[in-house]
């Protein structure tokens, strides 16, 4: 059995459950390291990178491995010219916005998600948007955003943290794609991937350490003599135990397939939406999403937790997220507890 949740776990938008194979691999690695015989966990980093590249539909040379969306958003922010305009959606997750704001000399403009494509203009240098909004599960019209960005010469940065694993990734169609893997990709925390263009997107590896070298073990002292010729020049020093687990989690997602997982997840979310509709309870319209946000019910999170149902409270809204380890019985349990 890959998963064995002890609660009705509907909180993947915060943190995904770890598969049994992942837990076993990490336990074995920690145990081996504790007696002075650690496995080759750098091989796990490369296996994880290759797996994510296949899921993203891009060559592995375009994928950097790190730990945080904010770090990679900051990398892209550092590449922009003074005064460049960055267009984002209102209420976007802060890790995708703050790195551009704190630079201080960029123009960060926020518009409603539904207006994002129409708001691109000639002076826009970058459009940064989550494929699926963290707060309420709304899906961005990425095709429209890409078309508008191309028409005005802007680049696109897509955060797939809330979509990778249940929505097929289309990273080849964007300039940059970033995603944490501890949610829908069921990896441990400390695993994040960045996809860059074949030409490396004009990015300067401003935080380059020894792992950014073409020959990392020859780059441990002094300036790196030769940066990696691939996106690996943008690697962060990896959280090795996390990547040891990640390769197994990503393998599971590949085995099942995001399209299959997505159909399962959305069917459960639709079941929940239908149940809410029957009781007259309003929810945020997010067709095709695995996330359902119910305004005004966030205060019931603790009560639901005591009843063994795990969800999130986001700005007063109750957020339910349905994934491959959930069943129709989980949906019905949530509806029953909400009904009292």
CATH of the domain at 271: 3.90.1150.10
- Each residue's pLDDT tens digit, 265-315: 999 999 999 999 999 999 999 999 999 999 999 999 999 999 999 999 998
Confidence of residue 238 (pLDDT cuts 50, 70, 90): very high
Nearest to 269 by CA among 279, 280, 283, 256: 283
pLDDT digits (tens, 9 = 90+) for 34-72: 999 999 999 999 999 999 999 999 999 999 999 999 999
User: Residues 213, 95: one domain?
Assistant: yes
Q: What is the pLDDT of residue 315?
A: 86
Instruction: Count up the domains in the chain and report the number.
Output: 2
Same domain, yes or no: 268 and 250: no
Q: Of 192, 227, 256, which marks where a domain is finished?
A: 256
pTM for the predicted model, two decimal places:
0.96
Q: What three-state secondary structure class fits 330?
A: helix
Distance of CA 72 to the CA centre of its chain: 12
- Where among 222, 237, 256 does a domain terminate? 256
Nearest to 181, CA basis, from 270, 63, 264, 260: 63
| Rounded alpha-carbon distances, angstroms, from residue 148 to 13, 24, 54, 121, 154 | 29, 46, 27, 8, 8
Residues 116 and 89 sit within 8 Å (Cβ to Cβ) = yes
Which domain, by its residues, includes 70? Answer: 23-256
* Domain closes at, from 229, 256, 283: 256
User: Do residue 39 and residue 140 come from a single domain?
Assistant: yes
Residue 181 domain-assigned (yes or no)? yes
| 329 and 242 in a common domain | no
């Amino acid at each position: 059995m890959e998963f064995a949740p002890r609660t009705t776990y509907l909180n993947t938008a915060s943190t995904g459950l770890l598969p049994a194979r992942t837990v076993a691999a990490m336990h074995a690695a920690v145990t081996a390291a504790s007696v002075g015989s650690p496995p080759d966990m750098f091989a796990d980093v490369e296996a994880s990178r290759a797996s994510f590249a296949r899921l993203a539909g891009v060559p592995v040379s375009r994928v950097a491995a790190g730990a945080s969306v904010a770090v990679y958003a900051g990398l892209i922010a550092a590449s922009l010219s003074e005064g460049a305009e960055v267009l984002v959606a209102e209420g976007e997750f802060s890790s995708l916005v703050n790195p551009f704001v704190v630079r201080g000399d960029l123009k960060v403009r926020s518009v409603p998600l539904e207006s994002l494509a129409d708001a691109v203009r000639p002076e826009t240098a970058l459009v940064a948007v989550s494929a699926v909004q963290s707060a309420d599960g709304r899906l961005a019209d990425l095709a429209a955003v890409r078309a508008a960005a191309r028409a005005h010469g802007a680049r696109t940065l897509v955060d797939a943290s809330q979509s990778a694993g249940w929505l097929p990734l289309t990273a080849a169609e964007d300039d940059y794609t970033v995603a944490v893997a501890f949610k829908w990709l069921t990896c441990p925390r400390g695993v994040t991937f960045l996809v860059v263009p074949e030409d490396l997107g004009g990015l300067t590896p401003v935080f380059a350490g020894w792992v950014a070298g073409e020959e990392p073990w020859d780059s441990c002292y002094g300036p790196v003599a030769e940066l990696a010729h691939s996106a690996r020049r943008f690697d962060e020093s990896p959280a090795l135990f996390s990547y040891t687990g990640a390769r197994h989690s990503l393998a599971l997602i590949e085995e099942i397939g995001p399209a299959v997982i997505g159909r399962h997840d959305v069917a459960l979310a639709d079941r929940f939406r239908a149940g809410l509709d029957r009781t007259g309870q309003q929810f945020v319209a997010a067709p095709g999403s695995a996330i359902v946000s119910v305004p005004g019910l966030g205060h019931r999170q603790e009560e639901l937790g005591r009843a063994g149902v795990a969800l999130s409270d986001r700005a007063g809204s109750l957020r339910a997220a349905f994934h491959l380890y959930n069943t129709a019985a989980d949906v019905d349990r949530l509806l029953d507890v909400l009904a009292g």
